[in-house]
Structure 1
Amino acid sequence: MWGCVRRSDRLGAAFIALISAGFLLAVPARGETSAPVAPARVVSMNLCTDQLALALADQGQIVSLSHFATDPNMSVRWKQAEEYPENYGRAEEISILHPDLVLADTWSNPDTIAMLKTLGLRVEQLPPGTSLPEIRARITTMGALLGHPDRAAKMLTGFDARLAAIKRPAPGLRAAVIGPSGYGYGPRTLEGQILAMAGFDNVVSGPGLDWGGRLPLEDLVMDRPDLVIMGGSQGKMGTSRAQAVLEHPVLRDLPTVQGLRDARWTCGGPAMLGAVADLAAFGRKIERNKATQ
């Protein structure tokens, strides 16, 4: 009997020793940190996460992009996106791809997000980047999520250099960005940020208009802006009643421009700087014209 007990004790001690040895092997030594493993199967279900993922990910790291990614009116990387399968942001089609990272926006369908998380998938929702600090933070976050923080840092360096090199008109020019139904984009929107970065004051501003609102055409005419940028969300004029307001005769006497808004106005990121540069050049042209009048 005593021999059996002693034998059992010896087996127990040996088992504990093995567990302890495995634990010690698994725990890194003090001062050491294990590098996070970069995701190998990334699915993006949002147009703006598509754009950053395409810019920062490894070849083959992405397994699917949103169906908007191949639309040249919305996506600056539409040609590159054609190499990838598309998704419509549905939980069932995303889950069968077995992603180890799903990229979404904070405005993505909450039911889809909840279902993906219930299925045990990792979902990261990035806030929309409108202000310059938000855009910079979004780039840094995306680089970290994809396991390429060095690429994100390099992108930010280039972003800052390009922004600093843009030649803006002198302060004082006023502009408005007007969309369907006469909706004006306020200073907190990406459109408003592009105006500010290009050196324009935004006509659509004031109490309750941080994010914009419907702007009566009479008010717009009375404000006499130096420039009115018109068009839909991708800068194209349509045939709907909402678009028809942009062809109202009262606008003919205003300095309006159509087609200036394109895919570069869609997402906060490096591509938007091309839109900023073009708008700033337009502002300098207006400035020169004023000087000769």
Structure 2
Amino acid sequence: MVPATGRSILACGPVSRRLSGALLAVTLTVAAAVSHAAPPQRVVSMNLCTDQLAMMLAAPGQLISVSDIASDPMISPMHVEAAAYPFNFGGAEEIYLLDPDLVLAGVYSDPAVVSMLRRLGIDVAQIDIVTGLDEVADRLREVGALLGREAEAQAEIARFEAGMAMFSHAQTGPRAAFYYPNGYSLGTGTLSHDILTTAGFRHIAEEMGRNTSGRLALELLVTASPDLVIGTGTYPGSSRSEEILRHPALEALVSAGRGHVSGADWVCGTPRVLTALADLRAARRAMEVE
């Protein structure tokens, strides 16, 4: 409120200066407290990709649980490291009982679980997927900040960028396609597309104008006649979704050219994609000398 004199209280000589100084001190104290907030001490990850980022960056004892699928060698390149942590199955009750002060989840993690944990007063950070190699450093930086491990994240980023410098990004090599169970094929707006083209291959999805992922008729794949067909490993047992992978036309296409399995290093946008890039580059060079 402004006094009758028309002068603000903060303009009243010595009193004003003392009050202003006190307010400044409080402001600086609060800002310092926020910027130096203690990092979380009990972190739980409930997503395969945040599992990997957390295992790379967390301080000893800081990460107390990772998702159960982190132990699956088919999709987790850090399944050996994951064995050192208790597993969770992504349930709200079991995670709550772990008494975490931070939960790392994905943007597509079960929304009911995420909502319940937040209603229970638990901090949940949802990390977005990576759709291009240029986003890997962003995710490292984001999770590093959440864990209070910025220096460790920056070190990982430096190593990753040094590794990326080894690839020419020339898309002049053989033509390749992705083909998975149920005839699912990847489009251009994906991390796998970026890995493929950075390793020097041409992706037939660009020729077809397929910007998004989805089912691709086997006839179209055979007609496109790619030099390389990239598939995935299969689990023991049988699945109707995998029957198309045993179709004679696809088997003939693969045997006429080459087949390549996209392993666990392809799944998440972490520095482990460098292994996928190196494997693809080796495959490309072998094809080019034949």
Query: Normalising by structure 1, what TM-score?
Result: 0.83
- Structure 2 gaps of 5+ residues are 1-21
Report what 1:252 is aligned to: 251
Report what 2:68 is aligned to: 67
Provide the secondary structure at the position in 2 that maps to 1:204. Answer: helix
Aligned AA (1:92): E
Cα distance, 1:279–1:147 mapped onto 2, change above 3 Å: same
Q: CA deviation at 1:101?
A: 0.5
In 1, the alpha carbon distance for the partners of 2:196 and 2:32 equals: 47
Aligned AA (2:245): L
Report what 1:214 is aligned to: 215
Q: CA deviation at 1:184?
A: 0.7
Residues 184 and 215 in structure 2, CA contact (< 8 A), matched pair in contact too: yes
Aligned AA (1:180): P
Report what 2:241 is aligned to: 242
Report what 1:28 is aligned to: 28
Report what 1:3 is aligned to: none
Q: CA deviation at 1:89?
A: 0.8
Residues 168 and 281 in structure 1, CA contact (< 8 A), matched pair in contact too: no
Aligned AA (1:55): M
Q: Which moved more, 1:184-193 or 1:61-70?
A: 184-193
Q: Within 5 Å, give how 1:15-54 maps onto structure 2.
A: 28=28, 34-54=35-55
- Structure 1 gaps of 5+ residues are 1-21
Superposition RMSD on alpha carbons, in Å?
A: 2.4
Provide the secondary structure at the position in 2 that maps to 1:194. Answer: helix
The one-character-per-residue Cα deviations of 1:129-161 (angstroms, maximum 9, x if unpaired) are: 121232221111011111011111111111111
Provide the secondary structure at the position in 2 that maps to 1:64. Answer: strand
Provide the secondary structure at the position in 2 that maps to 1:104. Answer: strand
Provide the secondary structure at the position in 1 that maps to 2:265. Answer: helix
The one-character-per-residue Cα deviations of 1:264-285 (angstroms, maximum 9, x if unpaired) are: 1111111111011110110111
Report what 1:176 is aligned to: 177
Matched, 1:152 2:115: no
Report what 1:274 is aligned to: 275
Residues 169 and 284 in structure 1, CA contact (< 8 A), matched pair in contact too: no
Residues 168 and 284 in structure 1, CA contact (< 8 A), matched pair in contact too: no
In 1, the alpha carbon distance for the partners of 2:58 and 2:151 equals: 12
Residues 171 and 197 in structure 2, CA contact (< 8 A), matched pair in contact too: no
